[in-house]
Amino acid sequence: MAPRTSTSTADQARAAALEVLEAVRTRDAYANLLLPRLLRDRGLSGRDAAFTTELSYGTLRGLGTYDAIIAACVDRDLDAVDPVVLDALRIGAHQLLAMDVPPHAAVSTTVDLVRSVSNEGASRFANAILRRVGQGDLQEWIKRIAPNAQDDPEGFLSVSRSHPRWIVSAFWDSLQAHRGAQRAHQDIGELLDADNARPGVTLVTRPGLAQVGELTDLGALAARYSPYAAYLAGGDPGALAPVRDGRAGVQDEGSQLVATALALAPLEGRDEQWLDMCAGPGGKAALLAGLALERGASLLANEIAPHRAELVRRALRGYGDRVVGTADTHTAEVDENADADTDTDATDAVRTGSLQVIAADGIRAPWQPGSFDRVMLDAPCTGLGALRRRPESRWRRTPEDLERLTRVQRRLLSSALDSVRTGGLVAYVTCSPHLEETRDVVRQVVKARRDVERVDARPLLPGVPDLGGGPDVQLWPHLHGTDAMYLALLRRS
């Protein structure tokens, strides 16, 4: 979609937000990757960039609720509305119902936006619909359009909290499994609200390269739980020298905690070879790299996609010549029917106290069984635990994705357990609280083997409250302020 011309920065902000929504809808774009480029291209910074970001992310988060409201205001199915006009109406609804934009400005600027991308008839249509939307506030609309909360609690939450019903149901089931039925009933609304809140920026220091004090001296606040984390209240993290130099980065605190837990877990015997099996885009690998080097251990960071392996290499750039190079051992897509035999051994090239990045299929592992002492498996998943950061994912994912993903997750976990030595540790991690991707995968794999024991992961997250009954750990946005990271720690016995 070509950039549209407009006369003011506010118009530019709305046009950029419309471009984000259209790209998400038509090209499966990710807002967090597209928006920074649009801001640069349009010369938007400061308050204008913040306004654009809220228009884009806020509209994507509230899209389900806004569609239900717009549907109540039109005389046709939403499928019959020009998609780009509907995107503009969603942006207008967000301004009217969730932002401090004067109603007349929200309506008139959206009408102008529609006129710039469509025709006069469409602009009159948008004017009429938005005036109807503006006749009530958000809570009044929810009372009017949402199912009764007593008769259909999942339906009510789906409309009022702007989540697909199947995700509401999955989150409720996971809360109940980890926290019990009563707490789940109390928590579900807060969890969905946390998904709709704007997340803060969490920084991470690379062990051996930077300390949290450097970040706090630059205005960040030391984090609550991770000893390597700090919260940045505002501004561009890339402008901070430690981030710019690769000595620090941006990483959710939950992601830091699960990586640190693997490193903290007691281990008898050798502790020299670590593996990050699905390392892209590199946040956990960079943290594990520093922790491994502090102990004189080596880290092999593996990622099946070569372009993501390059992202891992960039994340490790602060370690300089400790990174011994990269290799493309196997660059094909995951072959779910392939045998796990290989004639190569990727561990041969890793010297003591070094880091290496390779592009290989973790299922068809290019290393010998039992090669590693600690293995991190951050498995590909639905990403439902990061909906506050990737709001479009809630509308993109479907229940049908689970069958394919869980099949890959089980095969990767089996490969990870084969890759670790007797007595070694595997951390199975997902950025999803969905039970089919978390407890069910672990239970099925462990049941099929006789050489695995569960390790209580809770003591490895010191100071973190509300970790449930164990032995696995499920973090929650509404309780811990992190993404909904899941961790199961397994020992090869």
User: What are the tens digits of pLDDT across the range 109-143?
Assistant: 999 999 999 999 999 999 999 999 999 999 999 99
pLDDT at 335: 40
Q: Is the pLDDT of residue 351 over 90?
A: no
pLDDT at 327: 58
- Enter the tokens of residue 83: 């998609």
**Mean pLDDT along residues 240-252:** 97
The CATH homologous superfamily to which domain 253-492 belongs is: Vaccinia Virus protein VP39 (3.40.50.150)
pLDDT at 266: 97
Closest CA to 14 of 33, 42, 46: 42
- Enter the tokens of residue 324: 């011994």
Give catalytic status of residue 431 as yes or no: yes
pLDDT at 459: 98
Q: Is the pLDDT of residue 66 over 90?
A: yes
DSSP 43: T
- Enter the tokens of residue 388: 């506050």
**Mean pLDDT along residues 286-307:** 97
* Band (26; pLDDT cuts 50, 70, 90): very high
The response to whether 378 counts as a known ligand-binding position is: yes
- Reported as a single tens digit per residue, the pLDDT across 75-96 is 999 999 999 999 999 999 999 9
CA angle (195 as vertex; 192, 196 as ends), nearest 5: 95
The response to whether 278 counts as a known ligand-binding position is: yes
Answer for the pair 475, 254: CB distance below 8 angstroms, yes or no.
yes
pLDDT at 325: 64
Q: Is the pLDDT of residue 145 over 60?
A: yes
- Reported as a single tens digit per residue, the pLDDT across 221-237 is 999 999 999 999 988 89
Q: Is the pLDDT of residue 50 over 60?
A: yes
**Mean pLDDT along residues 42-61:** 94
pLDDT at 235: 85
- Reported as a single tens digit per residue, the pLDDT across 269-278 is 999 999 999 9
Predicted model pTM: 0.93
Query: What are residue 454's DSSP bridge partners?
Result: 490
85, 201, 286, 359 from 327: Cα distances, Å: 47, 32, 18, 6
The response to whether 339 counts as a known ligand-binding position is: no
In total, the chain counts a number of residues equal to: 493
pLDDT at 343: 45
What does DSSP say about strands 298-302 and 452-455: parallel, antiparallel, or unpaired? Answer: unpaired
**Mean pLDDT along residues 320-332:** 68
The response to whether 379 counts as a known ligand-binding position is: no
- Reported as a single tens digit per residue, the pLDDT across 95-111 is 999 999 999 999 999 99
* Band (345; pLDDT cuts 50, 70, 90): low
Alpha carbon distance 31, 12 (integer Å): 17
**Mean pLDDT along residues 341-356:** 62
* Band (6; pLDDT cuts 50, 70, 90): very low
pLDDT at 441: 98
- Reported as a single tens digit per residue, the pLDDT across 257-291 is 999 999 999 999 999 999 999 999 999 999 999 99
The response to whether 303 counts as a known ligand-binding position is: yes
Query: What is the Cα gyration radius of the chain?
Result: 24
The response to whether 284 counts as a known ligand-binding position is: yes
- Reported as a single tens digit per residue, the pLDDT across 158-171 is 999 999 999 999 99
Mean pLDDT of the chain: 93
| CATH 1.20.120.530 for domain 12-139 | no
- Enter the tokens of residue 75: 């005389």
Catalytic residue from among 287, 312, 431, 485: 431
Percent of the chain with pLDDT over 70: 93
* Band (324; pLDDT cuts 50, 70, 90): confident
Give the containing element (helix H, strand E) for 274: strand 273-276
Residue 344 CB-density burial (10 A; 0-12 exposed, 13-18 middle, 19+ buried): middle
Residues in Cβ contact with 443 at an 8 Å cutoff, skipping those fewer than 6 apart: none
pLDDT at 234: 85
- Enter the tokens of residue 267: 């281990």
Query: What are residue 453's DSSP bridge partners?
Result: 491
Answer for the pair 367, 300: CB distance below 8 angstroms, yes or no.
yes
Alpha carbon distance 447, 453 (integer Å): 10
**Mean pLDDT along residues 26-47:** 93
